[in-house]
Chain A
Amino acid sequence: MSGPITALTMPKWGLVMSEGKIVSWKKRQGESFAAGEEILEIETTKITNVMEMPQAGHLRRILAAEGATLPVGALLAVIAPENASDTEIDAFVAGFAAPEAAAESASVAAPAPQMVEVGGRRLSYLELGEGEGTPLLFLHGFGADLNSWMFVQPALAVARRTIALDLPGHGGSAKELGKGDAAEMAEAALGALEALGVAHVHLAGHSLGGGVAAFLACRRPEKVKSLSLLASAGLGPEINAAFTEGFIRASRRREAQEALSLLVHDPALLSRRMVEDVLRYKRLDGVERALEQVAEAWFGGGRQRLDLRDEIAALNLPVQVIWGREDRIIPLAHAEALQGKLPVHILEGAGHLPHMERAEATAGLLEAFASV
């Protein structure tokens, strides 16, 4: 025997993923790879993502052709030492169990968002996982919803209770807003936590949701165990107004596609489904007005109104900053300016959506923080 032979299977990124399409292999059959190296690109209903290998190995045989669409759990390749014989590989492939039953039961059991009422306002949230540890609260960005955490929430939910919230005016939450500012959003998030019986949380916020998380941590630090800020608002005045304005105006697919392409480092990664989901949200009565209110409260005049840089640096709790190298919405300089004061992680091959473009790396950083 020449060391373990293992299967590389179609991953399940997010709750609703039932199949994925092989976009391209980044390693050829017969090549070796290091731990953390990207091995292939897989297209899901939302976005194309890269699969990273947790440990070094040898790509002994590729079974899934580029362009093929395969169910979650399907055998994509065989990882085995170079000296394993072809007969051993053949036997492994022949003995690999078809994943149909597992994929089916997983899709049946997919949990759905629930509603909680806070101060007369309906808020939608998705709860996943359980455990002794402190729960983790995810807060999404401007115009997004709880689904933007679909690639990282399940990974974090393995060890603890996690809650992804739809902020007021967003997703399945009520669209009526007061000012739509950080105070209103943070109050809603706190109210949701109270209603769900959560006393303390690890906070992870993206973009505008990062601003909400930071605001919450600064005002109510006793509630917060740690703070992870992804491409966050509230760390400097600059923001790409072409995105916020374009996003609000977009009512047709082309316009939405144009605005959304600014979010990612490679626009080819955006699926038609992701654009369609955004349009479906934007078509709802009250959404356009809610987005205008939020944009005015946060980015009126094309500049961020919220600046929590000094307060965050003075916080007596762990804070980390995660940014995509190619962010075109909020400049990378906001993260770089914090280097030396806080742990700052800059991810290559990511734009404004590190939690979608580099989901595994982001989940790893969040996990490390939520485990302390």
Chain B
Amino acid sequence: MKMYWKLFARSIIRKVLMLLLIAVPLRPLVIRLSYVFQSPDPIGNSNWIIYLLDFFRTLSGDYIYIFILFLFLAYDYFREIPDAAALEIVKTSREERRHDCRQALVLWTLLFGYAVILCSLYVGGVMLSNSTMHALTPELVWYFVRHTAVYILLNGSIAIGFAWLISRCVGRLVGYICVILFAALFSPIALSQIRGFFIVNSHIYDWFQVCFIMPEGLTNLVPEVLYPVNWSIAARGFVWIGLIVLGLAGYYFARTGKRIRWAGIAAGICCSALSLWYAVLPVSYYSANDTTGERDPGYDQFRYVIRETPQQEKEAAFRIESYELTLKMGRQMQAEAVLHPDRKGLECYEMTLYHLYRIDSVTDETGEALAYERNGDYLTVYGRADGPEEIRIRYHGGGALFYGNRREMNLPGWFAYYPMAGFHRIYRSEEYQYEKNYAEEPARFHIEVDAAGTVYSDLERIEGNCFEGMTTGPTLLAGFYREAKLENGVTCVYPYLETALSPESNLFPENRMEAMEILEEEGLGREKILFCYGGAYGVPDVFEEDRVISATGWLVFVTHYEREGSLTERHEKTEEEKFEEAVTVVTESYRIMRGSEEEGIFVYQDFENTYLNQMEEFGYTETDMETFVLEYLGEDAWNDIIEWRKEDGN
């Protein structure tokens, strides 16, 4: 092997590529470290996790650099043999295949070493920081490992394999053209273009997804969810590995005509075909780069607002007294819901179930099939004169934003992931928000979840991931969540990667205390609080139920309470309240930008956009900004803003 390492090392091109490989991840790390240690703002040091996540996200977004650099590195190394006109000599040797495998092994060892270093960097970064040590959980380490395995090792292996095949099958120049085209095909930019091109025909796009081995469309991803790695992305990698094995088997065994050639070719075909089938199956993950059309997290806005898909509202003629939900989490959620309606003999039972769940069967307590009609988000089950006593519905599927998979779940109780009595709107188009649908009266729920990790719910845990209790809508969360007791005894389930929410974090302690006082005042002090991901796509900021509030933090919780005067009621806002709300958004955005200002780039532009978005409605223009800032934020803030404007080059 020493000879192969020597051969690898004796090349200027490869040395340059290796230097690039090392330099790319170091750059953001150095910037972030210097910022954290030099920051005069105390937030800088206590908010380490944000910087680490940001660093990780930058790296994740840049996984393509590992792929591309390894592609060129491998091509250059494998070309060494044909370039030295030694390929024919190598071919005459019995060692030919072993020889080429050794070359691949050198590259794979480098790749593995690089992956281990990067993975250690993520984990080490979390461990070294006092403020984020608590966030280092087996789930997080597993998450890093999964990322490393898929985006570095698997995709890196594709790069090595492709370079190997091309270097042996075509000439140098044609090979370079192939390598460049291959690299371009997998770049997130090219994928966005392809996506745009095929959006009109999503069927073609589904099959084209096999090229999507890299994270694409990074802007919509949030830190709490990070980048989902799922089996369908990994399967795409295996499709390519299969094709490459196929090509290499054809190349190496073409001359020998041995049975092994057919074994290699058969293995390649099987691997490609199975992976291809798996890769294009719809999944229920929240993943901007894995979805199109209806499986896109932003698609509901398009569906209900732009396309104006009709929604219905109809009070139910019955009430569901109890539910038995059995949820098997996987690529999609396989569910069985046994409902006990309070009235028998109705002509039909009208229910709401999110449209991305497909009904498999509807039966009664005897197992006899009941007629049903599925229309978008609505399900009508036809009853009979003497029953049914229970309605058993089997369905599968999953949303993009409110998703569930083997390890991660984000299923708020107000979302129709289980059949709800009556017809309800899913989306409030006029406010670009999801409708929160709770039953008017609590029902008894018995929920059994078959998932890989710990699932959290507002219901009482019976054992494992089995829950029971009375509620108007059960919430299920899993993934990077943790349970903690607050100072006042309230149980809090929070996403631990979001330091603003962590009770162990020192961020905004006064807001947390204030929030707890509010809970006490409202008589909700002994309730459980579940934070679930809100953020984009019109998920309500504050859920009007004591159990579930927004992930945007204690501050929003308090602000909401102060504004609304209640946690449970929402009233029509007056003009004055709307104005105050807009002013609060702008002033808060200033404070946030001041705290999280990074390298001073585009901060002014962001602030100006927020100001104009919020205040234009009230007659404020760009020229009024100074007056506004001086009035609501003071002179120091105005000086900051002028400074930002200079840095932005305005």
A binds B: no
